[in-house]
Structure 1
Amino acid sequence: MTRGLLISVKMDITQRLMEQKYDLQEESIDDYGSSYDSSTSKDGESGNGGERRCFNLTDQHKILFRALTGELVGVCFYVFIGCMATPHSEGVDPGTKLPEVGAIPVALAHGLGLAFLSAALLKISGAHLNPAVTLGVVLCGEIGLGAGLAYVATQTVAGVIGASLCRAILPENVYIGINGGAHVLHVGPGQGVLCETLLTSAVVLTYILAVIDPNTKSDRGPIAIGFSVVVCTLAGVATTGGSMNPARSFGSAVAVSAYNVDIWKFHYIYWAGPVFGAAMAVFLYRFVFASPEKRLVLCGSKGYQFKTTKLSQITSFRQSGQLN
């Protein structure tokens, strides 16, 4: 009888261990999961078969690395396409003498290029592809300040790489003839800043409403963003060249500066205008167009309410695995 009891207890313990092992296997997560299992050992290996477990910090680094790589590749292609699409007409420089020459192909190249790159990279990096857009996203509290700075640095470097590839491919006379695809100011500095501010605000607001806001975002967001760039480029080509993207302007300016040192004279306009434009777009969004849960005032049926963005949302990278 005692022996039978021992056998019964042993079988019960074995069954419980098997159930526990099954539960542990069910709790295993993929490489991009964000949950943490307390049974995971310090070296990231579980004790029941060596299956890899993921830590929050590791997941953050994976997501951020993929996002920055996406921005690097995306901006590099965008700037390269934009510079290569600048027309050259028998020695006539459309960037300084006839800005309206070739405006349509330039606008289409930038807008359609941004559309397909946004569609490809939207779920990897959010497809900002523009420091002004990144600033807007940070001010909306969608990514942290640290991640935002990493985005801007990556986009700036990618702009230089893309413009340098254009310089490496085109013959020297053609490259000089199109001024390296760099933007040139055709109006006064004040007018230039105002133009870039208004055009950039339209592009950034389109991105926020088409990609970020839960009530207005759409799967057709990349198309809307591309169209906004086409239209705004056509509107600004005769004044500032229609940049709306500091990385695009900076990269082409660096590449062509060996042939045109005056390119830096009014370059600040292509940073100041987009920064003001992004701030303007965020103001309109957060105070007027945002969904009730994101709006700072007029929060739906609860009447006039004031809300403040949590400090953690703008000072740390989000851990949910979502950049936008």
Structure 2
Amino acid sequence: MSNRIQITNPGFDNADQERCAGNEVQIDIGNDISRQRSRNEDEPVISDHIVKGNLYQALFVEFLGTSIYVFIATIPYYDSSAPGMALIALIACFGKISGGHFNPAVTIGVSLCGRLSLQATILYPVVQIVGGLLGAALTRAVQPPRAYIDNEYFFENGITVLRKDVKPGWALLCEGLITFFLVLTYLMCTLEKQKTNWVLSSLAIGFIAQANIIAADFITRASMNPARSFGPAVCTSVFTKNVWKHHYVYWVGPMAGSAIAAFAWRCIHCQWSCCFRPK
């Protein structure tokens, strides 16, 4: 559908107008609703990826990415850099499709910053938790049964439980702090510009995640991710119930840290500038 405006010179009679058809100006105003609209400059980059038509694609990517991450993070390994390297690769590959959360805590942080729809805020954690269950199940599938029966802590790099003599309160604070660092880095790297460089952003996010893992491994085993903790807990609970003793730490800590990170991001970007303006 288009509107056409014809402008003719009224000084000509009909004969002159037939001879001077070149004086006729035609202007087409295209308002074809089928034409794809370009993104507004003020439109947030994350919401632009998760438009209604691509929500199912984004959900599948979050499910797949979380499964891969949890599998790599939970399988026993000697090189502790594996989770961080996996996160770098996954965000670089899938960030432009779903935002590359792979973590309910990150999703909550992005939502609190006003950069995610309510529908995506509800559905993202669901598929992430299911993906975490699949990733942990794959880890259990490739491990021999005796690894679980003979020694419940053979899977110690997979499950996230408190280290010996660590108090729950301090563990809660630790998980909150490292999740705060992770989510704030994510927000600053991906919500800063209209066009996010996912390769560079993935490096920053992967590095801070790996630094947190190295720093907090001997306290809480550094989860920062409820989906990463819940899946292995379910798969290991068949052999030991100790995994549920302080499991709330790996939900409350990351969610609180994520909320504080969103608050800090809003303060940095003057979302509540009225509170900080000099009078």
Per the TM superposition, whether the score is higher than 0.5 is yes
1:210–1:216 Cα contact (<8 Å) kept: no
Kindly provide the amino acid, as one letter, of the partner of residue 78 in structure 1.
Answer: Y
Q: Which residue of 2 aligns with 1:272?
A: 252
Q: Determine which of 58, 70, 76 is the counterpart of 1:67.
A: 58
After TM superposition, give the deviation of residue 262 of structure 1 in Å: 1.5
Q: Determine which of 273, 297, 300 is the counterpart of 2:273.
A: 297
After TM superposition, give the deviation of residue 264 of structure 1 in Å: 0.6
Q: Determine which of 229, 237, 240 is the counterpart of 1:249.
A: 229
Task: Measure, in 2, the Cα distance between the counterparts of 1:126 and 1:304.
Answer: 36
Q: Determine which of 175, 183, 186 is the counterpart of 1:196.
A: 175
Task: Measure, in 1, the Cα distance between the counterparts of 2:102 and 2:33.
Answer: 37
Contiguous gaps of at least 5 residues in structure 1: 1-18, 36-58, 88-101, 306-324
Kindly provide the amino acid, as one letter, of the partner of residue 229 in structure 2.
Answer: S
Q: What percentage of aligned pairs have identical amino acids?
A: 39
Q: Secondary structure at the match of 2:273?
A: coil
Q: Secondary structure at the match of 1:181?
A: coil
After TM superposition, give the deviation of residue 217 of structure 1 in Å: 5.7
Task: Measure, in 2, the Cα distance between the counterparts of 1:150 and 1:255.
Answer: 23
Q: Determine which of 54, 74, 83 is the counterpart of 1:83.
A: 74
Cα deviation code 1:166-216 (max 9, x no counterpart):
111111123552247111102110000000000000000000001112389
Cα deviation code 1:34-83 (max 9, x no counterpart):
89xxxxxxxxxxxxxxxxxxxxxxx9443110110110000000000111
Task: Measure, in 1, the Cα distance between the counterparts of 2:113 and 2:98.
Answer: 16
Q: Determine which of 169, 177, 185 is the counterpart of 2:162.
A: 185
Contiguous gaps of at least 5 residues in structure 2: 1-26, 40-49
Q: Which residue of 1 aligns with 2:211?
A: 231
Q: Which residue of 2 aligns with 1:314?
A: none
User: CA 1:211/1:148 → structure 2, altered by over 3 Å: closer, same or farther?
Assistant: same
The answer on 1:146 being equivalent to 2:119 is yes
Cα deviation code 1:101-138 (max 9, x no counterpart):
x4xx22x1111100100001111000011111000000
Task: Measure, in 2, the Cα distance between the counterparts of 1:133 and 1:222.
Answer: 14
* Mapping of residues 1-324 of structure 1, within 5 Å: 28-29=34-35, 60-84=51-75, 86-87=76-77, 102=78, 105-106=79-80, 108-175=81-148, 176=152, 177-179=154-156, 181-186=158-163, 187-214=166-193, 218-219=197-198, 220-287=200-267, 289-290=268-269, 292=270, 295-297=271-273, 303=277
| RMSD, aligned CA | 3.1
* Greater share of residues in strand: 2
Cα deviation code 1:244-285 (max 9, x no counterpart):
001000011011110111211100000000011001111211
Kindly provide the amino acid, as one letter, of the partner of residue 167 in structure 2.
Answer: G
1:246–1:270 Cα contact (<8 Å) kept: yes
Task: Measure, in 2, the Cα distance between the counterparts of 1:216 and 1:284.
Answer: 22
Give TM-score scaled by structure 2 length. Answer: 0.77
Give TM-score scaled by structure 1 length. Answer: 0.67
Task: Measure, in 1, the Cα distance between the counterparts of 2:252 and 2:59.
Answer: 24
Task: Measure, in 2, the Cα distance between the counterparts of 1:180 and 1:165.
Answer: 15
After TM superposition, give the deviation of residue 149 of structure 1 in Å: 1.2
